[in-house]
Amino acid sequence: MKDQITSESAWASLQFDNRFTRCLPGDPQPENFRRQVRGACYSRVRPTPVVAPQLLGWSADMAARLGLTLDPFTNPEVAEVFGGNRLLDGMDPFAMCYGGHQFGNWAGQLGDGRAINLGEVVAPDRQRWMLQLKGAGPTPYSRTADGLAVLRSSVREFLCSEAMFYLGVPTTRALSLVSTGQLVTRDMFYDGNPKQEPGAVVCRVAPTFTRFGNFQLLAARKDLDVLQQLIDHTILTDFPHLGVPTEAIRLQWFQEVCERTAEMIVHWMRVGFVHGVMNTDNMSIAGLTIDYGPYGWLEDFDPSWTPNTTDAAGRRYCYGEQPSVGLWNLVQLANALFPVMQDASGLQKAIDAYTTRFNDDCNQMLAAKLGLPAQADAAAIELAGELPERLQDAETDMTIFYRALARAPLLPQQAELTGEQWAVALDTLQDAWYTPDKVSPDAKAQLQQWLSRYRQILHTQQISDDVRQQRMNSVNPKYVLRNYLAQLAIERAEQGDPGLIQELLDVLQRPFDEQPEKEHLAKKRPEWARDQPGCSMLSCSS
CA distance 55 to 199: 12
Kindly tell me the sign of the dihedral angle through the C-alpha atoms of 345, 350, 355, 360: positive
Integer CA distances (angstroms), 400 to 379, 434, 468, in order: 25, 11, 16
Catalytic residue list contains 427: no
How do beta strands 54-58 and 173-186 pair? antiparallel
Task: Give one DSSP letter per residue of 438-488, joined into a string.
Answer: G--HHHHHHHHHHHHHHHHHHHHTT--HHHHHHHHHTTS-S----HHHHHH
Beta bridge partners of 58: 176
HSE-CB for 480 with a 13 A CA cutoff: 28
- Please tell me the distance from the alpha carbon of residue 80 to that of residue 85, in angstroms, as a whole number: 5
**Distance in angstroms (rounded) separating the CA atoms of residues 432 and 349:** 42
Instruction: Single out the catalytic residue among 232, 238, 281, 311.
Output: 281
Phi/psi at 528 (nearest 5 deg)? -65, -20
Cα–Cα distance for residue pair 358/360, rounded to 1 Å: 6
| Three-state secondary structure of 344-404 | HHHHHHHHHHHHHHHHHHHHHHHHHHCCCCCCCCHHHHHHHHHHHHHHCCCCEEHHHHHHH
Residue 54 three-state SS: strand
Amino acid (one-letter) located at 107: A
Separation between Cα atoms, residue 323 and residue 354, nearest integer Å: 10
Taking the C-alpha atoms of residue 185 and residue 171, their distance in angstroms, rounded to an integer, is 29
* Mode of pairing for the β-strands spanning 54-58 and 128-134: unpaired
Catalytic residues: 281
